[in-house]
Amino acid sequence: MFRVLILLTCLLANAPGLAVEHAIVLNADCPPGFELSSGHCELRSLYQMYPSLQEAGVGGLKTGLPEWRDGFSPEQTDLGRYLFFDPVLSGDGSVSCASCHHPDQGFADGLGQSVGIDDSVLPRSAPTLWNVAFLKSFFWDGRASSLEEQMQGPLYDAHEMGSNPQLLLKTLNEIPAYQQLFAQAFPNDFIDSGSQVRLDHIYAAITAFQVSLISLNSRYDQYAHGYADALSGPEKEGLNIFRSFVARCAECHTPPLFTNQQLAVIGTPEPEGMPFDAGAQVPMKEPSQRGGFKVPSLRNIALTAPYMHSGRFASLREAAAFYTGGRGHAVPKGEELKIHWHIWEPNLTDEELDRLVDFLMTLTDESFKPEQPSRLPSGMRPVHNNVADAGGIIDGASNHE
């Protein structure tokens, strides 16, 4: 049904005269990975069969998930999908959420430093949105504690999407198609004829879409659930290096999400010419967190090069090699950082680094990747496939160590 609708809308997009007559109808089915239960989409995963110590969602192979967000309606989720891809949310209609969180680039953008409105080069890289349903803090420095709070950062930042709450509300309320879709998604708030789209509707819908981005069906997961042949010999070697107390990767990138959701000061370098990023020190006003960043999940990590908060490492191999370079080896002169105790000198061999990369590649799963709408309620064309163009882009991919 949904696919049919998409095909239909593809056709219609080429025939603007008809588009008006065939309004977008929101999907009444939950996204894959969710069960419709009394109008709400609830997450279902084989990991729900497993316990987790103190319900923390960190452990080993058969460990349950951390607390997650779900419970949005199918319509809210689908409305969020349209909003996510719609450049009408930006101040000048030039960028959408998907510009920096592109579904074909692991919901990141392939850049070391993302590019916002007016081709502004931003100080940090866009993190993946896969599995954000499980996260407790957001942004590289962990300064937001919910997706609703987080999204107001990029939406209203002058260099990212360049909008503001008044403009956003005015824009959406002036588009009849959106009025209708918000009424479908939030029927209780649109009983009166004069009902308006509110900011909390926008935030809830985008959150609903974001929490539907579940990636828990990689080959690693098949291994974790008990299928020993899911990983090759070298990949299993990589897993053992990953969780060994020599490399210590799993101490912070802890299964099942491959993050322990903590801040860590590890002392990675910035790209050439970029000033030192103080990280979590700023929001926490805590000097010992200088250079501290959130431990990112490694799920779908193969899709989101370059790596680290400002994309200094172009490849997984280079990122892995950082950890065997010695404690604090890349800390700029004059910086005194409280480097995390797990950063040491494991003296990993080249072969071990290769095996680690082999293993990291098994964490890829896009089986629940959502459809990209070809037609948007605003009538605008999607912009996320436009190539970012900024004179000063520091592209991690061409920034080999």
Partner 1 sequence: MNKIAAIAGAVVLLAGGYYLGTANQPEPTVIKVPAAPKAEFASDGAAEVIAASGTFSVRAWETPTSGEVIIVKDGESIQDAVAKAEPGTLIKVMPGTYKETVYIDKDNITLSGVIEQGRYPVMEGEGVRNDAVLYSGNGVTVENLYITHYKGNAIMGQAGNNFIIRNNYIVDTGVYGIFPQLDKNGIVAHNIISGIEDAAIYVGMSDNVDVVYNQVFESVAGIEIENSRAALVEGNYVYNNTGGILAFITPGLPIKTCSDVIIRNNFVVNNNHENFAIPGSLVSNIPSGTGMLIMACDDVVVEQNIVTGNDSVGILFTDFSLATSASVDPDSEPNPNRPKILNNIMQDNGNNPAPLVRAFLATKLETRGPDVADTVGMDDGCILNPERFRTIGLDKYSECAFSDTKNVLTYTLPEPVAPRTEESNMDSGKLAYYGVCAGCHAYNSRMIGPPTQIIQALYMDNPEGIAAYAAKPVKKRDDYPEMPPQGHLDEETRLAAAKFMLKLSK
Burial, 20: exposed, middle or buried (Cβ in 10 Å; 0-12, 13-18, 19+)? exposed
Helix axes 165-173, 176-185, angle to 10 degrees: 100
* Cβ closest to partner 1, residue 336 vs residue 401: 336
Q: Which of 142, 361, 48, 378 is nearest to 234 (CA)?
A: 361
CB of 107 to partner 1, least distance (A): 16
Radius of gyration of the chain, Cα coordinates, nearest whole angstrom? 22
Q: Which of 233, 260, 254, 257 is nearest to 365 (CA)?
A: 257
CB of 184 to partner 1, least distance (A): 17
* Cβ closest to partner 1, residue 48 vs residue 398: 48
**Cis before 51? omega within 30:** no
CB of 216 to partner 1, least distance (A): 7
The secondary structure of residue 369, as a DSSP letter, is P
* Cβ closest to partner 1, residue 76 vs residue 90: 76
- How many beta carbons lie within 10 A of that of residue 386, not counting itself? 13
CB of 5 to partner 1, least distance (A): 9
* Cβ closest to partner 1, residue 133 vs residue 343: 343
> In which residue are the tokens 């962990």 written?
142
Classified as helix, coil or strand, 267 is: coil
Distance CA 111, CA 356 (A): 23
CB of 87 to partner 1, least distance (A): 27
Q: Which of 65, 107, 94 is nearest to 372 (CA)?
A: 107
Q: Which of 294, 301, 262 is nearest to 277 (CA)?
A: 294
CB of 61 to partner 1, least distance (A): 4
CB of 90 to partner 1, least distance (A): 31
Structure tokens at 17: 């005269």
Classified as helix, coil or strand, 294 is: strand
* Cβ closest to partner 1, residue 250 vs residue 314: 250
CB of 374 to partner 1, least distance (A): 17
Structure tokens at 184: 């479908």
Region of 139 please: left (phi>0), alpha (psi -120 to 50) or beta.
left
Distance CA 103, CA 129 (A): 9
> In which residue are the tokens 């299928």 written?
227
CB of 284 to partner 1, least distance (A): 8
The span from the first CA to the last CA of the chain, in angstroms, equals: 49
